[in-house]
Structure 1
Amino acid sequence: MTSRTTTAGAVLFTAGLLALTACGTTVSGSGAAADPSPVPTTGQTPDHAAQAAAAVARHDKLFPEVAELCRGKATAAPTGPATPGELPTDPEARKYAENHAYKNEATLTPAAKCRGDAHAARIRKALGGSDGKGAPKSTEELSGLLTGMGYKPEAGDVYASSTGNLSFVLSIPESGPCVTGHLTPPMSVKAHGVYMEGGCHEPRGGH
């Protein structure tokens, strides 16, 4: 009698443990228990140097003649930040320089300057040289010429003054820098770094 009672109690006890174990367990549609505290994955820090190098490589594929011309140029920017002693000593001139600091341009590395100058010369030649003979006569013509050369002028990058003089501002695809041109004789096409406030268009205003 005692043996049967003990065996029955053991069976009931085991069934109870199984029921307790099942309580509070969430089962997904696949039958696996869900992780109650998933560990979030951390993103990797972007490698800006690698991204810049990849952009230059894409530029070089687009403009192989410029790439060949500038091969081997240094990619590090020259050192030597501006110091207060380099500002004008005259109070009025100093104030003017401080108020117009927003027009300062980023310093170009030798490689970026080489690319910028090469693109400027390339565009200048397509526009007819320094005398501008055969240069486009409208914003549509100028935009079409630049696009056909592999550049990507956006809205406002090619414009005309109130007197009809044509100008353009470009960011060289992939690697920069900026190239700004004015078709008014004498023609001017030059490369430069981005402005301190960002972008290739000369900022307006100040303080």
Structure 2
Amino acid sequence: MTSATAPARAVLLAAGLLALTACGTTVCGSGATAPSGAAPAPSLSPAPSSPAPSLSPAPDYAAQAAAAVARHDKLFPEVAKLCAGKAGTATAGSGTPGDLPTDPEARKYAENHAYKNQSTLTPAGKCRGDAHAARIKAALGGSDGKGAPQSAEELSRLLTGLGYRRETGDVYGSGAGNLSFVLSIPESGPCVTGRLSTPMSVEAHGVSMEGGCREPRGGH
């Protein structure tokens, strides 16, 4: 009996070892870990999504222009009162190829001097510009220029005293009758250019097509 059961026990032991080897180091069917060497099961959890890029809002130029006019009106209430109800802002001026003359020589002249073109003032801009021009002209002594500044320093002080900042304008020339200025009206524009000659000239206009209030130098 003993000799007959020993081989049977050896067979059963070998079968058990084979079963354990097939399952790896864990119990088969337990679900604790995958068998040794097996690929991991795919995850069912969704992959994390990247955050959507934040888009900056487009600048509201109309609101910015309206805010600038409001600041201008606070600085110059008398001008604001005169121009109340006028709407609009400065727009691009003429000078496009379609506006050029058909005569070759005249067309060439217009092309060579296009850098002098200025933006067109809307009724609101023209009203403010004309009001500022009249205000400055009165402070300079009117058309005859009586009591007008006699030096660039005096003219600069007068304009500053009227509320026109130094950084928004320029005074040039020397001596009585040879003084000029150009300035940008604070906040809302437009430009005002003056010459203290006889007769005196003070007028409003749009910015040059190349930017700024002073007439650009150059051309070709």
Residue from 184, 187, 191 that aligns with 2:204: 191
User: Would the aligned equivalents of 2:144 and 2:199 in 1 still touch at CA under 8 Å?
Assistant: yes
CA distance 1:81–1:101, shift in 2 (3 Å): closer
Hey, what does 1:63 align to over in structure 2?
76
Q: Distance in 2 between matches of 1:119 and 1:61?
A: 14
Percent identity (aligned)? 78
Hey, what does 2:88 align to over in structure 1?
75
Residue from 168, 173, 190 that aligns with 1:177: 190
Hey, what does 1:19 align to over in structure 2?
none
- Letter of the aligned partner of 2:179 in structure 1? L
Consecutive unaligned residues of structure 2, counting only runs of 5 or more, are 1-25, 27-32, 34-49
Deviation, 1:81, is 5.7
Hey, what does 1:146 align to over in structure 2?
159
- CA deviations over 1:12-50 (Å, ceiling 9, x no partner): x9xxxxxxxxxxxxxxxxxxxxxxx66653322110000
CA distance 1:81–1:120, shift in 2 (3 Å): closer
Q: Please give the residue correspondences for 1:18-167 in structure 2 after superposition, counting only pairs within 5 Å.
A: 40-75=53-88, 86-154=99-167, 157-160=170-173, 165-167=178-180
> What count of residue pairs does the alignment treat as equivalent?
179
For normalisation by structure 1, the TM-score amounts to: 0.76
Q: Distance in 2 between matches of 1:185 and 1:52?
A: 37
Kindly report the root-mean-square deviation, in angstroms, between the aligned alpha carbons of the 2 structures: 3.1
- CA deviations over 1:39-72 (Å, ceiling 9, x no partner): 6533221100000000000000000000000011
Select the structure of larger CA radius of gyration. 2
Deviation, 1:87, is 2.9
User: Would the aligned equivalents of 2:90 and 2:125 in 1 still touch at CA under 8 Å?
Assistant: no
Deviation, 1:74, is 2.8
CA distance 1:204–1:162, shift in 2 (3 Å): farther
Q: Distance in 1 between matches of 2:68 and 2:168?
A: 23
The secondary structure found in structure 2 opposite 1:174 is coil
For normalisation by structure 2, the TM-score amounts to: 0.71
- Letter of the aligned partner of 2:57 in structure 1? Q
Deviation, 1:73, is 1.3
Runs (4+) of structure 1 exceeding 2 A deviation are: 37-42, 76-90, 153-156, 161-164
Q: Distance in 2 between matches of 1:109 and 1:187?
A: 25
The secondary structure found in structure 2 opposite 1:158 is strand
Hey, what does 1:29 align to over in structure 2?
none
CA distance 1:150–1:103, shift in 2 (3 Å): same
Q: Distance in 2 between matches of 1:156 and 1:53?
A: 22
- Letter of the aligned partner of 2:156 in structure 1? S
